[in-house]
Structure 1
Amino acid sequence: MNTEDIASLIRQGLAVTTVEVESEDNTHFAALVVSEDFDGLRPLQRHQLVYRALGDKMGGEIHALSIRALTPAELAAGA
């Protein structure tokens, strides 16, 4: 599993405007996910949407994932 595979899974599972995934070892990942779907949701709920998009890859091929989940307005405001 590499960064592009993870970004692709997130794009397939969520209506996103931006997805950026980084990793130094292809085991521990950091993702910036920007979606209107996050509007009105708490951070935990946002993360759950991302985890759902990744399905059974979480805890398997993806050992650890740090998620920054924002709405487009939050990203524009510099959150």
Structure 2
Amino acid sequence: MPVAKDDLERMLKESFPDATLRIDDLAGDGDHYRAVIVSEAFRGKSRIQQHQLVYAALGGRMGGELHALALTTSAPN
């Protein structure tokens, strides 16, 4: 079952409450998204560590309910 855009946003906001989020449904199918996440939680972390935090926030849905997620992550300027 696909992940609704609102559910994806909720999961990310729960883990990154300070985040500025932009989520785009790339294919209109609830399986392919692009997310731009700016959060203080990413400060001082490598890109890999940042993405690992996002995957952890999704609770194992990557590769199952959520087929593809193009990520852009950063700390605020």
- Which category of TM-score, normalised to the shorter sequence, fits these structures? 0.7 to 0.9
Work out the CA distance in 2 between the residues paired with 1:41 and 1:31: 18
Relative to the length of structure 2, the TM-score reads: 0.86
More helix by share: 1
Moved over 4 A (4+): none
Q: Which amino acid is 2:53 matched to?
A: L
Unaligned runs of 5+ in 1: 74-79
Unaligned runs of 5+ in 2: none
Work out the CA distance in 2 between the residues paired with 1:15 and 1:40: 18
Q: CA deviation at 1:15?
A: 3.3
Q: CA RMSD in A?
A: 1.1
Relative to the length of structure 1, the TM-score reads: 0.84
Identity of aligned residues (%): 37
Residue 3 of structure 1 corresponds to which residue in structure 2?
Answer: 5
1:72 maps to 2:76: yes
